Chains A and B, each alone.
Chain A
Amino acid sequence: MRDTQPFDHRPDPELGAALRAALEPRDDHAAFVARVMAQYERAQTLPPIPTLDVLASWFRPGIAAAAAAFIAGLLFGRGVLTPAPASIEAAMAPVEGTGLAALVTAQDPPDASVVFASLVEQH
Protein backbone atom coordinates (compact mmCIF):
# COMPACT_ATOMS: atom_id res chain seq x y z
CA MET A 1 0.00 0.00 0.00
CA ARG A 2 1.48 3.33 -1.00
CA ASP A 3 1.66 6.31 1.30
CA THR A 4 -1.33 8.55 1.24
CA GLN A 5 -0.62 11.33 -1.19
CA PRO A 6 -3.24 14.05 -1.37
CA PHE A 7 -5.14 13.72 -4.64
CA ASP A 8 -3.04 10.82 -5.89
CA HIS A 9 -3.68 10.24 -9.59
CA ARG A 10 -3.03 6.50 -9.49
CA PRO A 11 -5.31 3.80 -8.14
CA ASP A 12 -4.11 1.98 -5.03
CA PRO A 13 -3.86 -1.69 -6.08
CA GLU A 14 -3.94 -3.10 -2.56
CA LEU A 15 -6.89 -1.06 -1.38
CA GLY A 16 -8.60 -1.65 -4.72
CA ALA A 17 -8.20 -5.42 -4.44
CA ALA A 18 -9.50 -5.45 -0.87
CA LEU A 19 -12.50 -3.34 -1.80
CA ARG A 20 -13.17 -5.44 -4.87
CA ALA A 21 -13.22 -8.59 -2.76
CA ALA A 22 -15.50 -6.92 -0.23
CA LEU A 23 -17.96 -5.78 -2.90
CA GLU A 24 -17.84 -8.87 -5.08
CA PRO A 25 -21.38 -10.12 -5.77
CA ARG A 26 -22.34 -13.32 -4.03
CA ASP A 27 -24.45 -14.80 -6.76
CA ASP A 28 -23.50 -16.35 -10.02
CA HIS A 29 -22.50 -13.88 -12.71
CA ALA A 30 -24.30 -15.80 -15.44
CA ALA A 31 -27.49 -15.88 -13.38
CA PHE A 32 -27.44 -12.11 -13.08
CA VAL A 33 -26.87 -11.63 -16.81
CA ALA A 34 -29.73 -14.02 -17.55
CA ARG A 35 -31.95 -12.11 -15.12
CA VAL A 36 -31.26 -8.82 -16.90
CA MET A 37 -31.73 -10.33 -20.35
CA ALA A 38 -35.04 -11.85 -19.24
CA GLN A 39 -36.30 -8.26 -19.00
CA TYR A 40 -34.95 -7.30 -22.44
CA GLU A 41 -38.25 -7.45 -24.32
CA ARG A 42 -40.18 -5.72 -21.56
CA ALA A 43 -37.64 -2.89 -21.44
CA GLN A 44 -37.93 -2.35 -25.17
CA THR A 45 -41.66 -1.76 -24.86
CA LEU A 46 -41.10 1.05 -22.37
CA PRO A 47 -41.66 4.52 -23.78
CA PRO A 48 -38.30 5.72 -25.04
CA ILE A 49 -38.82 9.32 -24.01
CA PRO A 50 -40.98 9.52 -20.90
CA THR A 51 -40.12 13.22 -20.80
CA LEU A 52 -42.84 13.71 -23.40
CA ASP A 53 -45.40 12.50 -20.90
CA VAL A 54 -44.18 15.03 -18.39
CA LEU A 55 -44.36 17.79 -20.99
CA ALA A 56 -47.83 16.68 -22.06
CA SER A 57 -49.08 16.88 -18.49
CA TRP A 58 -47.90 20.49 -18.39
CA PHE A 59 -49.49 21.43 -21.72
CA ARG A 60 -52.88 22.72 -20.53
CA PRO A 61 -51.61 24.57 -17.44
CA GLY A 62 -48.87 26.02 -19.62
CA ILE A 63 -51.32 27.29 -22.22
CA ALA A 64 -53.54 28.82 -19.50
CA ALA A 65 -50.56 30.49 -17.82
CA ALA A 66 -49.31 31.86 -21.15
CA ALA A 67 -52.78 33.25 -22.00
CA ALA A 68 -53.09 34.87 -18.58
CA ALA A 69 -49.64 36.39 -18.90
CA PHE A 70 -50.46 37.69 -22.37
CA ILE A 71 -53.71 39.35 -21.23
CA ALA A 72 -52.03 40.86 -18.17
CA GLY A 73 -49.22 42.21 -20.32
CA LEU A 74 -51.68 43.63 -22.82
CA LEU A 75 -53.65 45.44 -20.11
CA PHE A 76 -50.52 46.70 -18.46
CA GLY A 77 -49.12 47.93 -21.75
CA ARG A 78 -52.28 49.77 -22.66
CA GLY A 79 -52.47 51.40 -19.26
CA VAL A 80 -48.88 52.49 -19.01
CA LEU A 81 -47.64 53.09 -22.52
CA THR A 82 -50.65 54.81 -24.17
CA PRO A 83 -50.69 58.58 -23.36
CA ALA A 84 -53.92 60.07 -22.07
CA PRO A 85 -55.81 61.90 -24.84
CA ALA A 86 -55.40 65.67 -24.58
CA SER A 87 -58.38 68.00 -24.95
CA ILE A 88 -58.54 70.26 -27.99
CA GLU A 89 -58.21 73.26 -25.71
CA ALA A 90 -55.05 71.94 -24.20
CA ALA A 91 -53.67 71.12 -27.60
CA MET A 92 -54.41 74.58 -28.88
CA ALA A 93 -53.21 76.47 -25.83
CA PRO A 94 -50.01 78.43 -26.46
CA VAL A 95 -47.06 77.65 -24.34
CA GLU A 96 -46.13 81.28 -24.15
CA GLY A 97 -47.54 84.37 -25.95
CA THR A 98 -48.86 84.00 -29.49
CA GLY A 99 -48.37 80.55 -30.80
CA LEU A 100 -50.20 77.72 -32.47
CA ALA A 101 -53.69 78.94 -31.47
CA ALA A 102 -53.10 82.34 -33.04
CA LEU A 103 -51.81 80.71 -36.15
CA VAL A 104 -54.78 78.36 -36.55
CA THR A 105 -57.59 80.71 -35.61
CA ALA A 106 -56.45 83.78 -37.56
CA GLN A 107 -58.72 84.95 -40.42
CA ASP A 108 -55.89 86.38 -42.45
CA PRO A 109 -52.85 84.62 -43.78
CA PRO A 110 -50.30 84.40 -41.02
CA ASP A 111 -47.45 86.73 -40.71
CA ALA A 112 -44.12 85.10 -41.26
CA SER A 113 -42.97 86.13 -37.81
CA VAL A 114 -45.95 84.36 -36.23
CA VAL A 115 -45.15 81.18 -38.11
CA PHE A 116 -41.53 81.45 -37.14
CA ALA A 117 -42.44 82.16 -33.51
CA SER A 118 -44.74 79.14 -33.32
CA LEU A 119 -42.03 76.89 -34.73
CA VAL A 120 -39.49 78.19 -32.26
CA GLU A 121 -41.94 77.69 -29.37
CA GLN A 122 -42.53 74.09 -30.40
CA HIS A 123 -38.83 73.38 -30.12
Chain B
Amino acid sequence: MIEIKGVSKTYGKGKIKALNNINLEVRDGEIFGFLGPNGAGKTTTIKQITGILKPDSGTIKINGIDIVKNPVEAKKHIGFVPDNPEIFNRLRGMEYLNFIGDVYEVPEDERYKRINELSEAFEIRDALSSSINSYSHGMKQKLVLIGALLHNPSVWVLDEPMVGLDPKSAFILKEMMRKHADSGKTVFFSTHVMEVAERLCDRIGIIKKGEIIFVGTLDELRHLRKDNDSLENLFLELIEE
Protein backbone atom coordinates (compact mmCIF):
# COMPACT_ATOMS: atom_id res chain seq x y z
CA MET B 1 0.00 0.00 0.00
CA ILE B 2 1.18 3.52 -0.80
CA GLU B 3 -0.07 6.47 1.24
CA ILE B 4 0.72 10.00 0.14
CA LYS B 5 -0.42 12.79 2.47
CA GLY B 6 -0.08 16.51 1.80
CA VAL B 7 3.05 16.17 -0.31
CA SER B 8 4.49 19.30 -1.91
CA LYS B 9 7.69 19.72 -3.84
CA THR B 10 9.38 22.77 -5.33
CA TYR B 11 12.47 23.10 -7.50
CA GLY B 12 14.92 25.97 -7.97
CA LYS B 13 14.81 27.16 -4.35
CA GLY B 14 11.05 27.29 -4.27
CA LYS B 15 10.61 29.09 -7.57
CA ILE B 16 9.06 26.20 -9.48
CA LYS B 17 6.19 24.37 -7.83
CA ALA B 18 6.27 20.75 -9.04
CA LEU B 19 3.72 19.23 -6.65
CA ASN B 20 1.14 21.04 -4.60
CA ASN B 21 -0.29 19.29 -1.56
CA ILE B 22 -1.08 15.97 -3.18
CA ASN B 23 -2.98 13.23 -1.38
CA LEU B 24 -3.25 9.73 -2.74
CA GLU B 25 -3.79 6.23 -1.50
CA VAL B 26 -2.94 3.21 -3.58
CA ARG B 27 -4.51 0.17 -1.96
CA ASP B 28 -3.38 -3.39 -1.69
CA GLY B 29 -4.68 -5.59 -4.48
CA GLU B 30 -5.07 -2.88 -7.09
CA ILE B 31 -3.39 -1.64 -10.23
CA PHE B 32 -3.25 2.12 -10.10
CA GLY B 33 -2.56 4.06 -13.29
CA PHE B 34 -1.05 7.50 -12.95
CA LEU B 35 -1.81 9.76 -15.90
CA GLY B 36 -1.00 13.32 -16.82
CA PRO B 37 0.50 15.45 -19.57
CA ASN B 38 4.26 15.98 -19.87
CA GLY B 39 5.67 18.02 -16.98
CA ALA B 40 2.54 17.52 -14.84
CA GLY B 41 4.49 15.96 -11.96
CA LYS B 42 4.17 12.20 -12.59
CA THR B 43 7.87 11.41 -12.42
CA THR B 44 8.39 13.79 -9.47
CA THR B 45 5.67 11.91 -7.58
CA ILE B 46 7.23 8.57 -8.44
CA LYS B 47 10.68 9.79 -7.40
CA GLN B 48 9.29 10.77 -4.04
CA ILE B 49 7.48 7.48 -3.55
CA THR B 50 10.75 5.63 -4.21
CA GLY B 51 12.83 7.91 -1.97
CA ILE B 52 14.84 9.48 -4.78
CA LEU B 53 13.53 12.93 -3.92
CA LYS B 54 12.62 14.26 -0.51
CA PRO B 55 9.25 16.02 -0.25
CA ASP B 56 9.31 19.60 1.02
CA SER B 57 6.32 18.75 3.18
CA GLY B 58 3.93 15.87 3.76
CA THR B 59 4.50 12.15 4.28
CA ILE B 60 4.77 9.09 2.07
CA LYS B 61 4.34 5.62 3.53
CA ILE B 62 5.05 2.29 1.88
CA ASN B 63 3.19 -0.51 3.62
CA GLY B 64 3.01 1.77 6.64
CA ILE B 65 6.74 2.63 6.67
CA ASP B 66 7.70 6.30 6.24
CA ILE B 67 10.08 6.60 3.26
CA VAL B 68 11.80 9.69 4.72
CA LYS B 69 12.15 8.49 8.30
CA ASN B 70 13.03 4.88 7.53
CA PRO B 71 14.21 4.86 3.91
CA VAL B 72 16.15 1.58 3.84
CA GLU B 73 13.28 -0.45 5.32
CA ALA B 74 10.65 1.20 3.13
CA LYS B 75 12.65 0.70 -0.06
CA LYS B 76 12.93 -3.03 0.57
CA HIS B 77 9.20 -3.23 -0.14
CA ILE B 78 9.47 -1.48 -3.52
CA GLY B 79 10.32 -2.78 -6.97
CA PHE B 80 11.08 0.26 -9.13
CA VAL B 81 11.43 0.69 -12.89
CA PRO B 82 12.65 4.20 -13.85
CA ASP B 83 11.50 6.00 -16.98
CA ASN B 84 14.98 5.76 -18.49
CA PRO B 85 16.76 2.40 -18.35
CA GLU B 86 20.22 3.94 -19.01
CA ILE B 87 21.90 2.59 -15.91
CA PHE B 88 25.25 0.96 -15.11
CA ASN B 89 25.99 0.47 -18.81
CA ARG B 90 29.46 -0.88 -18.11
CA LEU B 91 28.20 -3.88 -16.14
CA ARG B 92 27.15 -7.17 -17.70
CA GLY B 93 23.50 -8.13 -17.42
CA MET B 94 24.22 -10.86 -14.91
CA GLU B 95 26.52 -8.65 -12.80
CA TYR B 96 23.77 -6.06 -12.64
CA LEU B 97 21.17 -8.59 -11.49
CA ASN B 98 23.57 -10.10 -8.98
CA PHE B 99 24.23 -6.63 -7.58
CA ILE B 100 20.49 -6.04 -7.23
CA GLY B 101 20.21 -9.44 -5.55
CA ASP B 102 22.90 -8.44 -3.04
CA VAL B 103 21.31 -5.06 -2.33
CA TYR B 104 17.89 -6.62 -1.71
CA GLU B 105 19.45 -9.59 0.13
CA VAL B 106 17.86 -12.20 -2.12
CA PRO B 107 19.05 -15.73 -1.18
CA GLU B 108 21.18 -17.45 -3.84
CA ASP B 109 18.66 -20.17 -4.73
CA GLU B 110 15.77 -17.76 -5.03
CA ARG B 111 17.93 -15.36 -7.02
CA TYR B 112 18.80 -18.07 -9.50
CA LYS B 113 15.20 -19.26 -9.77
CA ARG B 114 13.74 -15.79 -10.34
CA ILE B 115 16.42 -14.66 -12.80
CA ASN B 116 16.10 -17.90 -14.75
CA GLU B 117 12.31 -17.61 -14.90
CA LEU B 118 12.09 -13.91 -15.68
CA SER B 119 14.94 -13.83 -18.20
CA GLU B 120 13.37 -16.79 -20.03
CA ALA B 121 9.98 -15.06 -20.03
CA PHE B 122 11.43 -11.80 -21.36
CA GLU B 123 13.77 -13.68 -23.70
CA ILE B 124 17.06 -12.11 -22.62
CA ARG B 125 18.64 -15.06 -20.83
CA ASP B 126 21.40 -15.49 -23.42
CA ALA B 127 22.23 -11.79 -23.31
CA LEU B 128 22.93 -11.82 -19.57
CA SER B 129 26.64 -12.47 -20.10
CA SER B 130 26.94 -9.45 -22.42
CA SER B 131 27.65 -5.86 -21.42
CA ILE B 132 24.51 -3.77 -20.83
CA ASN B 133 26.12 -1.31 -23.23
CA SER B 134 25.39 -3.71 -26.06
CA TYR B 135 21.67 -3.98 -25.24
CA SER B 136 18.91 -2.30 -27.19
CA HIS B 137 16.55 0.08 -25.35
CA GLY B 138 13.97 -2.67 -25.03
CA MET B 139 16.48 -5.17 -23.66
CA LYS B 140 17.63 -2.66 -21.06
CA GLN B 141 14.01 -2.10 -20.09
CA LYS B 142 13.54 -5.85 -19.66
CA LEU B 143 16.70 -6.13 -17.55
CA VAL B 144 15.60 -3.31 -15.27
CA LEU B 145 12.19 -4.96 -14.95
CA ILE B 146 13.77 -8.27 -13.94
CA GLY B 147 15.91 -6.38 -11.41
CA ALA B 148 12.84 -4.65 -10.00
CA LEU B 149 10.97 -7.90 -9.56
CA LEU B 150 13.91 -9.98 -8.35
CA HIS B 151 13.21 -9.60 -4.63
CA ASN B 152 9.50 -10.21 -5.13
CA PRO B 153 8.49 -6.80 -3.77
CA SER B 154 4.96 -6.17 -2.59
CA VAL B 155 4.81 -2.67 -4.13
CA TRP B 156 5.63 -2.22 -7.79
CA VAL B 157 6.35 1.33 -8.91
CA LEU B 158 6.78 1.48 -12.66
CA ASP B 159 7.46 4.68 -14.59
CA GLU B 160 6.36 4.18 -18.21
CA PRO B 161 7.16 0.46 -18.09
CA MET B 162 5.85 -0.42 -21.56
CA VAL B 163 8.14 1.98 -23.44
CA GLY B 164 10.54 0.03 -25.63
CA LEU B 165 9.02 -3.37 -24.89
CA ASP B 166 8.07 -5.64 -27.78
CA PRO B 167 4.39 -6.70 -27.91
CA LYS B 168 5.06 -10.11 -26.40
CA SER B 169 7.02 -8.73 -23.46
CA ALA B 170 4.45 -5.96 -22.92
CA PHE B 171 1.75 -8.64 -22.81
CA ILE B 172 3.74 -10.71 -20.30
CA LEU B 173 4.31 -7.65 -18.12
CA LYS B 174 0.63 -6.76 -18.14
CA GLU B 175 -0.23 -10.33 -17.13
CA MET B 176 2.33 -10.16 -14.33
CA MET B 177 0.92 -6.87 -13.11
CA ARG B 178 -2.57 -8.34 -12.99
CA LYS B 179 -1.39 -11.44 -11.18
CA HIS B 180 0.56 -9.35 -8.67
CA ALA B 181 -2.44 -7.17 -7.85
CA ASP B 182 -4.74 -10.20 -7.66
CA SER B 183 -2.44 -11.71 -5.04
CA GLY B 184 -3.23 -8.72 -2.81
CA LYS B 185 -0.20 -6.60 -3.64
CA THR B 186 0.17 -3.11 -5.11
CA VAL B 187 1.01 -1.91 -8.63
CA PHE B 188 1.49 1.80 -9.26
CA PHE B 189 2.47 2.80 -12.77
CA SER B 190 2.56 5.85 -14.97
CA THR B 191 1.70 5.76 -18.63
CA HIS B 192 0.85 7.88 -21.63
CA VAL B 193 -0.89 5.01 -23.36
CA MET B 194 -4.56 5.43 -22.57
CA GLU B 195 -5.53 2.01 -23.91
CA VAL B 196 -3.21 0.31 -21.44
CA ALA B 197 -4.61 2.33 -18.56
CA GLU B 198 -8.18 1.65 -19.70
CA ARG B 199 -7.72 -2.10 -19.92
CA LEU B 200 -5.41 -2.68 -16.99
CA CYS B 201 -6.14 -0.25 -14.17
CA ASP B 202 -8.50 -0.76 -11.29
CA ARG B 203 -8.25 2.92 -10.53
CA ILE B 204 -6.55 5.88 -12.12
CA GLY B 205 -5.17 9.19 -10.89
CA ILE B 206 -4.81 12.23 -13.14
CA ILE B 207 -2.28 14.90 -12.30
CA LYS B 208 -2.11 18.35 -13.89
CA LYS B 209 0.34 21.12 -13.04
CA GLY B 210 1.34 19.39 -9.83
CA GLU B 211 -2.19 18.84 -8.54
CA ILE B 212 -4.28 15.68 -8.55
CA ILE B 213 -7.44 16.52 -10.45
CA PHE B 214 -9.05 13.10 -10.41
CA VAL B 215 -8.75 9.82 -8.53
CA GLY B 216 -11.14 6.95 -9.06
CA THR B 217 -12.29 4.19 -11.37
CA LEU B 218 -12.93 4.72 -15.04
CA ASP B 219 -16.66 4.36 -14.43
CA GLU B 220 -16.49 7.08 -11.80
CA LEU B 221 -14.75 9.32 -14.32
CA ARG B 222 -17.44 8.64 -16.92
CA HIS B 223 -20.13 9.30 -14.32
CA LEU B 224 -18.44 12.53 -13.31
CA ARG B 225 -18.18 13.71 -16.90
CA LYS B 226 -21.67 12.40 -17.77
CA ASP B 227 -20.11 10.89 -20.84
CA ASN B 228 -19.56 7.35 -22.03
CA ASP B 229 -16.55 8.27 -24.10
CA SER B 230 -13.13 6.56 -24.21
CA LEU B 231 -10.56 7.29 -21.50
CA GLU B 232 -8.50 9.14 -24.08
CA ASN B 233 -11.26 11.65 -24.78
CA LEU B 234 -12.19 11.98 -21.12
CA PHE B 235 -8.54 12.55 -20.24
CA LEU B 236 -8.12 15.17 -22.96
CA GLU B 237 -11.26 17.02 -21.87
CA LEU B 238 -10.17 16.96 -18.25
CA ILE B 239 -6.67 18.27 -18.74
CA GLU B 240 -7.76 20.97 -21.17
CA GLU B 241 -10.20 22.50 -18.71
Partners in one complex: no
